[in-house]
Structure 1
Amino acid sequence: MAVSLDQKRIALETFLQDHTNIKYVTPAAPEFSSLKATYNLTITATPLAIVRPQSSNDVAALVSYCTTHGIQFSVRSGGNNLYGASCVQDALMVDMRDIAFVDIDKEKSSARVGGGILQGKLAKELSKEGLVTAMGSLGFVGFIGWGCYGGYGSLSAKYGLGVDNILAAKVVNWNGEIVDADEEMMKGIRGAGGAFGVIVELTVKVYPLKSILAGMIVFDSQDITSVYQSYNAGYQTLLDEGLSPALSSQQMVVNSPNGRAFAVGIIWSSDDHDAGRAELAKIEALGTVVMNTVGPTTVADYMDILSTQIPSSAYGACQTLSIRKLNNETTAIMSRNFEKMPSSFGTAFTIHELRGPSAAPKSNSVFGLREPHFMLEFISTVAKEEDEKESREWATNFRKELLQMKPENLLPGTYISLTPPGVTPLSKIYGPDSNYETLLELKQKYDPHNVFNLAVPKFYEQ
């Protein structure tokens, strides 16, 4: 006989009476809506309930209970998956955000971090010791989800991607046991994240870095076609000549209060600010600068600034495509589509660049895109729900037009964190070099009963 949702909640509440450390919220509670809210406001699913474990033992008890009683569960680290992966209709949401410790080793070469740590808190704790690790730009994003599925970021040219900085992991496995991931599982975690268990702790590399140069350079965008093409012709020359790995530049086209603008986000990840200003001058020379906010700061403080400028929730989603070169054909297509870009706040386009230590094959990770490339992000996460359709159609058509360019400039895989579930086969996302076959073998070995079937990536869709 089928068990109703109310019966499941009653049984769960009885179980939790013996685990008083675990916080528990049902859909009837006034705080439920705010606790379940994820980045994507389009997601309307209602979980069975929300539980907030306080320790690895709590997570282990929850996994054991769910598997024994046939309860589907999802895991939330930050809740910023663009497709609402952590918020699933009638599934128990295991919210990890209270497990947010940071423990730096005595040598200050690594740190253990909790499975629910947000990037902003991690940056602040490391900054107190004059340290950084590879991370993204927004403080409200969960570090585990960002890092384990790839982790493009403004420090990657110098320190590598998020996956390249993961040294070890503690996981609750399908049987509800707390285990230290062995090397085989670590290979899968570095690229496929929580597909093999609930990650309750990561050990990551950390690096000495007290201050950076960071900010935004906005170029005259009245004639965005010529400005964009000219900038990228010059930028390609800089790449050919050799840019310092300490310099990160992220191109973006956004809707500002003054209209559409082409800007470049800059981070110089070295304490040698004189050398940074010399490199920065090369970027400034690529166009007519109308605003420049680049100045001395820390990773933590800059993350705080960016987090106040980007909404922590929005309607819509993003799409992605990876290419090898920003050549004339590509930038011509891009600039045409910038002219068509809707004026809605949140509609945007940005480019993440992979160069340096991460742009080489790695045998200890299933992450697939291991050559120098540009990951394009077509952003249709808008502030107003009524703007979502127009923004999404623009992003979709933009991406389709780029797919028609010469195939040698297109990479077959996409970035899983920005890819709608089921749209791009996992064999393309994780290929080449047998990564996909390795991933299937690891899934069968470490999650033989597909207990973590709601985790990313979703193997049942293949």
Structure 2
Amino acid sequence: MAASPSDSTIRAQLEGAGVPYSIPESADFNQLLSNYSGNHQNRKPGIITVPETYQHVEAIVAACVAAKAEIVVRGGGHDIFGRSTVADAVTVDLRKLNSVTVSENHETAHVGGGATAEQVLEALASKGLQVPVGSCGTVGYAGWCLVGGLGPYIHSYGLGADQIVGAKVVNAEGKLVVADDKMLKGLRGGGANLGVVVELTVKAYPLQDVQAGMLMFDSTDLSKAVTTFLTNYEKLFGEGKNVPSQIYPMPFIFAVPGLGITLCCCVIWNGTATDESRAWVDDVGKLAPLMPGTPEPQTAITTMKALDFSRQLTAMLPPQMLGGRPQSASLTRLTPSAIAGLANVAANMPKSSTGGINMHVVREDCPSCSDNVPDSVCPYREAHIMIELLGVGPDEEIGKEAAEWSMAARNELMGLEEATKKTYIAVTSPECLDVESVYGEKLAELKKLKKEYDPHGFFKNALPRLVD
């Protein structure tokens, strides 16, 4: 019989090992419980542990295994569906395991399992290094790598999963192990299904300038603006085009205060400013008419570091995503019918929404789409477009309307001929996540690794969920 997390035996073991923890009666419990998607009082855990060392994690896992208590791991806590919060479970909150150190040859970095992308960039900048990250600085870096790792630097360096060269993991026996090649294969794209990842070793790259900023397009007629922009986008960046690896344009549509729902595009050039970079920035600025009164491309796109740009993007997002329900879709190409579908779902977005539409485009020139990649179960090695449909609002009523829109938009886009069921795990709602379609032939191998390293399904609450 499974023990409750509040069982005195579990708590006694935690106290004996010096593991800091909080229970619902503790003064700091609600603060620890709160994450990017809210507080989730309806599924609060029995204990939130806050390990400060790898030995603490070993003690937590060992105590839970002995008591057959359910466990769930929180890294950055940025999951938009709150999947790091499980009712009556023991939460392993890794946020204090956020150290970042550099190898002697400065070719790799050792990143704690609870470090955020911004913390990693900040620590490495002082060492003259950087790593690829996603588009939000508060996302847990390890978790981002483990489920694939899309972001604005993928064409320069590859997916986050392909940065992983080593890992330290607390396994299902409560023992710290150094991942062997077989485990690393499962960690690259398979999430944290094989244990609690307390440290990743990832590739590091020389620190350099980036050219980055945001362009805003005339959205008086939003549907027309989206159609014009994406049609020209496909002509400029589509299949077979010779595109520099440094550039990553990231289109998004969201509610701008005072302007309403607006088509924008972040432009990132990973490197110093050159005549080539300026020409490409200008080309993006010509994809559709710019919004009157907004900066021209060469003014809007400025020189900064990856850390600065990460902070800029994070500041554009709400500190918490409350009310509503995000969804996602995935397309193979921006064909005329796909563009028409995107224009339609954009036009139907609730005017009071605080969310929007983000597009993450993986081009065929991404290093992770080549044959020269590390062994992995990562399913995102083909050119595609991942679309986030952030159906959220500032309150419950608007959130409900936004959630209805995001589901309808998801269904419309996933019904297109260009749709692929290989959606991005991190932003696919649990009820829509089809792991068989996502992983395809790789799923059998991932499940085999799961059975080998976690034979009793102890880490069943990992993302993606592989066992009931």
TM-score bracket for this pair, using the shorter chain length = over 0.9
- Letter aligned with residue 335 of structure 2: N
* Aligned match of 1:410: 419
SS of 2:16's partner is coil
Question: Deviations for 1:27-71, whole angstroms, at most 9, x for unmatched residues?
Answer: 111211111111112733211111111111111111111100111
* Aligned match of 1:35: 32
CA distance in 2, matches of 1:77, 1:260: 32
Alignment of 1:460 with 2:467, yes or no, is: yes
CA distance in 1, matches of 2:241, 2:438: 31
* Aligned match of 2:370: 360
* Aligned match of 1:297: 304
Change beyond 3 A, Cα 1:354–1:4: closer
CA distance in 2, matches of 1:2, 1:444: 21
* Aligned match of 2:359: 351
8 Å Cα contact 1:151-1:162 kept in structure 2: yes
8 Å Cα contact 2:168-2:198 kept in structure 1: yes
Post-superposition shift, 1:323?
0.9
More deviation, 334-343/157-166: 334-343
CA distance in 1, matches of 2:314, 2:434: 33
Change beyond 3 A, Cα 1:62–1:359: same
* Aligned match of 1:11: 9
- Letter aligned with residue 369 of structure 2: A
Post-superposition shift, 1:380?
1.4
Change beyond 3 A, Cα 1:298–1:363: closer
* Aligned match of 1:188: 186
For normalisation by structure 1, the TM-score amounts to: 0.94
Question: Deviations for 1:376-403, whole angstroms, at most 9, x for unmatched residues?
Answer: 1111133322211111111111121223
Alignment of 1:75 with 2:73, yes or no, is: yes
8 Å Cα contact 1:160-1:357 kept in structure 2: yes
- Letter aligned with residue 429 of structure 1: V
- Letter aligned with residue 304 of structure 1: R
- For residue 95 of structure 2, the aligned residue among 81, 87, 97 is 97
For normalisation by structure 2, the TM-score amounts to: 0.93
CA distance in 1, matches of 2:442, 2:433: 15
* Aligned match of 2:403: 392
More deviation, 418-427/276-285: 418-427
8 Å Cα contact 2:75-2:143 kept in structure 1: yes
8 Å Cα contact 2:10-2:64 kept in structure 1: no
Change beyond 3 A, Cα 1:185–1:281: same
Change beyond 3 A, Cα 1:157–1:3: closer
8 Å Cα contact 2:10-2:67 kept in structure 1: no
- For residue 149 of structure 2, the aligned residue among 143, 148, 151 is 151
CA distance in 1, matches of 2:177, 2:17: 21
8 Å Cα contact 1:341-1:347 kept in structure 2: no
Q: What is the CA RMSD across the aligned residues, in angstroms?
A: 1.7
Change beyond 3 A, Cα 1:140–1:4: closer
* Aligned match of 2:384: 373
- For residue 317 of structure 1, the aligned residue among 311, 325, 328 is 325
* Aligned match of 2:437: 428
- Letter aligned with residue 26 of structure 1: I
CA distance in 2, matches of 1:287, 1:423: 34
Post-superposition shift, 1:3?
5.2
Post-superposition shift, 1:289?
1.8
8 Å Cα contact 2:13-2:59 kept in structure 1: no
CA distance in 1, matches of 2:9, 2:393: 40
Post-superposition shift, 1:423?
2.8
CA distance in 1, matches of 2:4, 2:326: 36
* Aligned match of 1:231: 229
Change beyond 3 A, Cα 1:452–1:223: same
5+ residue gaps, structure 2: none
Question: Deviations for 1:321-347, whole angstroms, at most 9, x for unmatched residues?
Answer: 211111111111211222211022422
- Letter aligned with residue 143 of structure 2: G
Change beyond 3 A, Cα 1:446–1:422: farther
8 Å Cα contact 2:253-2:346 kept in structure 1: yes
5+ residue gaps, structure 1: none
Alignment of 1:340 with 2:352, yes or no, is: no
CA distance in 1, matches of 2:165, 2:374: 14
8 Å Cα contact 2:95-2:114 kept in structure 1: yes
Change beyond 3 A, Cα 1:255–1:405: same
8 Å Cα contact 1:53-1:94 kept in structure 2: yes
SS of 2:430's partner is coil
Change beyond 3 A, Cα 1:243–1:16: same
Change beyond 3 A, Cα 1:273–1:346: farther
8 Å Cα contact 1:212-1:273 kept in structure 2: no
CA distance in 1, matches of 2:407, 2:463: 23
Aligned length: 454
Question: Deviations for 1:150-173, whole angstroms, at most 9, x for unmatched residues?
Answer: 110010111111101111111011
8 Å Cα contact 1:127-1:299 kept in structure 2: no
CA distance in 2, matches of 1:174, 1:3: 17
8 Å Cα contact 2:14-2:63 kept in structure 1: no
CA distance in 2, matches of 1:396, 1:445: 37
SS of 1:58's partner is helix
CA distance in 1, matches of 2:429, 2:39: 14
* Aligned match of 1:142: 140
Identity score, percent:
32
- Letter aligned with residue 319 of structure 1: Q
8 Å Cα contact 2:231-2:339 kept in structure 1: no
CA distance in 1, matches of 2:214, 2:443: 38
- Letter aligned with residue 248 of structure 1: Y
CA distance in 2, matches of 1:387, 1:235: 32
CA distance in 1, matches of 2:153, 2:169: 27
SS of 1:199's partner is strand
CA distance in 2, matches of 1:403, 1:455: 26
Post-superposition shift, 1:273?
4.2
Post-superposition shift, 1:106?
2.3
SS of 1:33's partner is helix
SS of 1:17's partner is helix
Change beyond 3 A, Cα 1:345–1:27: same
SS of 2:79's partner is coil
SS of 1:382's partner is coil
SS of 2:392's partner is strand
8 Å Cα contact 1:43-1:83 kept in structure 2: no
Question: Deviations for 1:400-430, whole angstroms, at most 9, x for unmatched residues?
Answer: 1223322xx2223111111222533311111
